[in-house]
Amino acid sequence: MKFRFLFIFLSIASVLSAGDFTVIIEGSFPGAEGKNIRLMKYGDQITYIREDIDDAIVDQDGLFGFRFRIYEPVYIFYRIDHARMGHYVEPGNNYKIEFEPVDFDTLDDRRNPYLDPWHFGFDLYNKEAPDKLNKTISAFNNAFDDFLIEHFSDVVRPRLNIPFENFRKHTDSLFQSEIIDNSFFKDYYEYKFALYYRIANIRKPLRLFDDYILDRPVLYENPKYMDFFNTMFDKFLFAGSRSITIEDLLITVNEHNSYAALMDSLGKDTILLNEVLRELVMLKGLKDMYHHTDFNKRNVFSIVEHLHNHSKFRQHRTIAGNILNGFTRLKKSYPAPGFELKKQNGEIICLDDYRGKFVLLNFWTTWCIVCLAEFSLMNDMFEEHKDRFEFISVSVDRNIKDYKRFVEENQLPWDFYHFNDDFRLLDNYDVRGFPLFVLIDPGGNIIRHSAPFPSRGLHKKIARTLYEWDKAER
């Protein structure tokens, strides 16, 4: 039996090694010389946590490249400065991406990229053959959008059934060869329609379940399948199921704190008989339970942790880990993200250098009037608490000269640094507006992310923090 298993394992390994799963991307970006480009993907499409694949520095000729392995088509995106844009890649393909020239010095610092996202235009080519997947998805999405715009009044007044079915027949004929040739696009196509059947209430949920979920595999990397899944099972455990009661959930989570009991409760609904689907719906529900006041947070955390460590399904272990990260990231008593900052003399400092002291970390810009107004109050706070607190102010000015000019002209007594185009630092601290204040304890753990401004009670928060810390230390 052992020899038979070994033979099967070696056979599978030889097939995988024989296949070409490497993706090569060769890029050019005039104007971005010296910039860091991060290549990213979603870690999963329940949490949509962003995951780095690789990064590269654009060389003096404006060129960069990536090489990585995937085993099925994946949507990847580039993070350059505040911009994010992407495309699909397929295993074994070589791509060339050409970005339109950009003068980064002329970009407006004051534009909030989270409200008004940056986007840099690009052309994409498959070096070996025409890039049919991205072109086909783009053409299909454009046709879909045009249809929805044309029939907006029908969507609003739920009369979409007949025109939608006619549109489906039309697109079936337009994209017939692509549907036949590419299984990823076929699924993308099917589940985009399924999603709108659900949103527009063209088909009943149970029929959609029978047609698109029952006896079908979960397509974790296909964004339209996951959009459909998330829509079908949004709040399902709380309001969508006729067989699962809130009382069942409260007992299994709050009293039993049991993964097995929760799986049994979900199994009362016949549409969740499939173990893979049931566990995935459970993960989605647990993510919501954590923020629901009726559920014990520790028990919810414990069940997700059990899934992260023991689920039979690799994708579910990943999703559970990402959910746990969402529970703890930037939350009180959990580790603050590490960072490295460079002094003007070239010396590097990091968060660990401040162990044993409280830290007030502040992100700001020279053009932010509110940021500058808060500095005068920070100055008073620094004088009062400098024996126990380190103040660190990080400028996020694109032009480092503006930062240097401000520091030289104002000579404030605490440490000032420039973020040095480290957009990973901004992501790690979820910097979405200015100013941002973060309190960190002597052990390097978060006390408060998005702490109040000095003008709105930060002084009281610091005083309370020191009182509680000293009381606990006695």
* Domain membership flag for residue 225: yes
Using one digit for the tens of pLDDT, what is the confidence trace for 440-457? 999 999 999 999 999 999
Q: Are 97 and 121 in contact (CB under 8 A)?
A: no
Which residue, of 328, 356, 391, is where some domain finishes? 328
* % the chain with pLDDT above 70: 94
Residues 205 and 300 in one domain: no
Q: Are 96 and 23 in contact (CB under 8 A)?
A: no
Q: What is the pLDDT of residue 252?
A: 97
More confident residue, 13 or 421: 421
Is residue 118 scored above 90 in pLDDT? Answer: no
Pairing of strands 415-418, 348-350: unpaired
Is residue 13 scored above 50 in pLDDT? Answer: no
Q: Give the confidence band of 12 by pLDDT, cuts at 50, 70, 90.
A: very low
Using one digit for the tens of pLDDT, what is the confidence trace for 357-380? 999 999 999 999 999 999 999 999
Pairing of strands 63-69, 22-28: antiparallel
Question: Which residue matches tokens 């990943």?
Answer: 318
Judged by average pLDDT, the poorest of 33-47, 120-134, 328-342, 381-395 is 120-134
Residues 295 and 376 in one domain: no
- Name residue 179's amino acid: I
Q: What is the pLDDT of residue 19?
A: 56
* Domain membership flag for residue 4: no
More confident residue, 149 or 194: 194
State the chain's mean pLDDT as an integer: 92
The separation between CA 141 and the C-alpha centre of its own chain, rounded to angstroms, equals 23
* Domain membership flag for residue 6: no
Residues 218 and 310 in one domain: no
Residues 122 and 200 in one domain: no
Strands (E), 270-395: 340-342, 348-350, 358-364, 389-395
For range 207-234, the mean pLDDT: 96
Q: What is the pLDDT of residue 5?
A: 45
For range 337-353, the mean pLDDT: 89
What does the alpha-carbon distance between residue 135 and residue 178 come to, in Å, rounded to a whole number? 11
Residues 170 and 212 in one domain: yes
What does the alpha-carbon distance between residue 265 and residue 269 come to, in Å, rounded to a whole number? 8
The residues, ordered by sequence, that sit 6+ positions from 31 with a Cβ below 8 Å of its Cβ are 62, 101, 102, 103, 104
Q: Which of 238, 250, 236 is nearest to 278 (CA)?
A: 236
* Domain membership flag for residue 1: no
For range 177-203, the mean pLDDT: 94
* 245: its two tokens: 């009661």
Residues 262 and 190 in one domain: no
- Name residue 1's amino acid: M
Q: Give the confidence band of 152 by pLDDT, cuts at 50, 70, 90.
A: confident
What does the alpha-carbon distance between residue 148 and residue 164 come to, in Å, rounded to a whole number? 9
Q: Phi/psi of residue 241, each to 5°?
A: -100, 135
Give the CATH number of the domain where residue 405 resides: 3.40.30.10
Is residue 221 scored above 50 in pLDDT? Answer: yes
Q: Are 76 and 39 in contact (CB under 8 A)?
A: yes
Is residue 1 scored above 70 in pLDDT? Answer: no
Given strand 50-57, what is the order of strands in its sheet?
A: 50-57, 36-42, 74-80, 83-89
Distances in Å between the alpha carbon of 241 and those of 141, 264, 288, 294, 450? Answer: 32, 14, 15, 18, 37
Residues 205 and 293 in one domain: no
* Domain membership flag for residue 335: no
* Domain membership flag for residue 3: no
Is residue 464 scored above 70 in pLDDT? Answer: yes
Is residue 159 scored above 80 in pLDDT? Answer: no
Using one digit for the tens of pLDDT, what is the confidence trace for 394-440? 999 988 999 999 999 999 999 999 999 999 999 999 999 999 999 99
Residues 370 and 304 in one domain: no
Given strand 122-126, what is the order of strands in its sheet?
A: 63-69, 22-28, 94-99, 122-126
- Name residue 21's amino acid: F
The separation between CA 255 and the C-alpha centre of its own chain, rounded to angstroms, equals 33
Q: What is the pLDDT of residue 117?
A: 81
Tally of domains within the chain: 4
Residues 164 and 50 in one domain: no
* Domain membership flag for residue 15: no
Q: Phi/psi of residue 295, each to 5°?
A: -105, 140
Distances in Å between the alpha carbon of 192 and those of 223, 449, 463? Answer: 9, 38, 54
Residues 125 and 161 in one domain: no
- Name residue 65's amino acid: G
Residues 357 and 469 in one domain: yes
What does the alpha-carbon distance between residue 253 and residue 467 come to, in Å, rounded to a whole number? 35
Give the CATH number of the domain where residue 90 resides: 2.60.40.10
Residues 90 and 154 in one domain: no
* Domain membership flag for residue 5: no
For range 245-269, the mean pLDDT: 96
Is residue 343 scored above 90 in pLDDT? Answer: no
Q: Which domain holds residue 216?
A: 135-232
Task: Give the containing element (helix H, strand E) for 99.
Answer: strand 94-99
Which residue, of 129, 151, 184, is where some domain finishes? 129
Which residue, of 181, 214, 232, is where some domain finishes? 232
* 361: its two tokens: 């970390």
What does the alpha-carbon distance between residue 188 and residue 193 come to, in Å, rounded to a whole number? 9
